[in-house]
Chain A
Amino acid sequence: MIATDAPALAVVGGRGRRRVLHAAANAWSALQGLLPLIALLLLWQALGDPHSPYFPSPSTWATALRDRTSAGDLVPAVLATFQSVAVALVLATVLGVGIGGLIGASPALARCLGPTLEFLRTLPPPTIVPVAALIIGVDEKMKLFVIVFAALWPVLLNTTSGVRSLHPTLLEAARSLHLGVVARVTKIFLPALLPSILTGVRVAAPLAIIVSLLAEMLTLMPGLGALLLMAQRNFNAAEVFGLLSVVGAFGFIINAALAAFESWALMPQGRS
């Protein structure tokens, strides 16, 4: 994204310097884009009333977050939310690739299960949270279940369409090489499907975060969502704004990590 083909055109000697210049220009334009947000926060800090019940100034957010950290709430909450999201994403990927692969490979199975799955998919994932809380009970298992239920569909659908668009030559090559089942999966299917699977996972990640936060809000299980809701119930505006920025950074980092992982995993295929 950062260094496009401009350095490739440069003479070999000037390559490093030009890349540095390029990166600097990029950083400057990003900074320019952030200026209004920074200006808003600074103005808010300068003109805002730190004791306002609705719009406390940004420095009070930091204080509120520091209080939470020293009370020992914040770090375990972030870790709890992260752990559920990560485990659920892995489970959803495994399940989605398995089921999606089977459905994509077998038209008969697709015809039988298609409409049922289609209905389950249209259920808004958040509505599953109260249902699961009543039927499974309020525990970690239920939280994992609802996140997996939300994150499953993008992976499943992408895998299915990936399997359907596999080039027939690939399958014929596998047959003429007499590959076993294991070799066929690891050498043909997984590499060919990797781009579609990873796209599905990237769509699924924000959904997983949303459902995880909602589950924590509704059941007050330990996590960022519960902290946010408690802060709101205590009318602690500074803490709400502070936690909101933590949640934003949380989502941003997870998305950026997945994007980096995707371009790293697709590098051998030259599709990054």
Chain B
Amino acid sequence: MRSMLRRSMGVLNPSALATALVLLVAWEAGVRAAATRFEFLPAPTEIGQALYGAIRSGQIIADSVHTVACALAGWAIASVLGAAIGLALAFLPIVHRFFGASLELLRPLPAVAFVPVAVLLFGFTVTTEITVIVFASVWPVIVNTVAGAKAIHPRLLDTAATLHLSRTQRLGKVILPAVLPSTMVGARVALGLALVVAVIAEMVGNPAGLGWGLVTAQEALQPGLMFGYLVATGALGVLLNACLRLSFARLFPGIRELQQS
């Protein structure tokens, strides 16, 4: 708790605030004086007004709720699926031998390129969006689960064998508790990805949510509103990550790297 306090103090130091303020004022002055050659660059006050208006009308809130709901749904599916695939890869040699390289080949496929395929199969729907999110965010969970399973101390498995634990008991009492922390590290990376990919899928696949709002604001030539969406998306990312970091620190107090990263 104290380290968190110190962190936030460190982030909000006076010189940083002053720098950000100077940058914003310079931006405002530059636009007011028409010193920039970009005709659609809005002043920070204009962005603030547009954002405030969009919040008052509830438009940006509804869009955020849609994006976050899709990201969370896709993330939950990806976490469970990734943990299952990771465990299978780590503990079933057959699965590893026959599916390892195929998965390695699919992994670097850019998620954006997957959107047109999903649109072709599912149309411009929520299913498309969630499929793409799952496809993109399942990888870090798999990779981290496999790494965690590889790092289990052999003595733990020996103990399980000595105690004559059955397969399900061994899975529930030894393997899962030992692997879960690293799966969770992967899940945290996956949540950040899920949000980004949700926005991407909304831009080119499912016409709803923040991504679509951003694109429509651009096409309607409303730069203030567009920047408002940008700020909202950034803020949402920070908020989700902070929530996740807090709840993980509470759930797994023993993992230090989580608090550091």
Interface residues of A (CB under 8 A from B): 29-30, 32-37, 54, 108, 111-116, 118-119, 122-131, 133-136, 206, 209-210, 213-214, 217-218, 224-225, 228-229, 231-232, 235, 237, 240-241, 243-244, 247-248, 251-252, 255
Contacts and interface: CB of A to CB of B under 8 A. Distances in A.
A111 B23 CA distance: 15
28 contacts: A30-B101, A32-B98, A33-B101, A33-B102, A111-B15, A116-B19, A123-B233, A124-B233, A124-B234, A124-B237, A127-B211, A127-B233, A129-B203, A130-B215, A131-B226, A134-B226, A206-B110, A210-B110, A213-B113, A214-B200, A217-B115, A228-B113, A237-B120, A240-B117, A244-B114, A247-B109, A247-B110, A247-B113
Contacts of A251: 108-110
Given A34-B101, A135-B38, A241-B117, A225 B112 contact: yes
A240 B121 CA distance: 11
Contacts of B113: 213, 224-225, 228, 243-244, 247-248
Given A123-B234, A252-B108, A231 B116 contact: yes
B99 A36 contact: yes
Contacts of A206: 108, 110
A37 B230 contact: no
Give the 10 A-B residue pairs with the shortest CB-CB distance, closest first. A33-B101, A232-B116, A130-B218, A37-B102, A124-B196, A247-B113, A112-B19, A123-B234, A115-B16, A251-B108
Given A33-B101, A123-B234, A124-B199, A244 B204 contact: no
Contact of A115 (B11, B109, B116, B218): B11
B238 A122 contact: yes
Interface range on chain B: under 10, 10 to 19, 20 to 34, or 35 or more? 35 or more
B90 interface: no
Interface of B: 11-13, 15-20, 23, 38, 40-41, 97-102, 104-106, 108-117, 119-121, 195-196, 199-200, 203-204, 210-211, 214-215, 217-218, 221, 223, 226-227, 229-230, 233-234, 237-238, 241
Given A247-B113, A255-B108, A130 B100 contact: no
A214 B120 CA distance: 17
Given A119-B234, A136-B38, A214 B204 contact: yes
Contacts of B230: 123, 127-128, 131
A237 to B, nearest CB: 6
Nearest to B38: A135
Contact of B196 (A126, A133, A232, A237): A126
Nearest to B241: A122
Contacts of B234: 119, 122-124, 127
**Interface residues of A: mostly helix, strand, loop or mixed?**
helix
A60 B229 CA distance: 41
A225 to B, nearest CB: 7
A244 B26 CA distance: 44
A35 B195 CA distance: 34
Contacts of A210: 110-112, 200
A134 B16 contact: no
Contact of B218 (A37, A113, A131, A247): A131
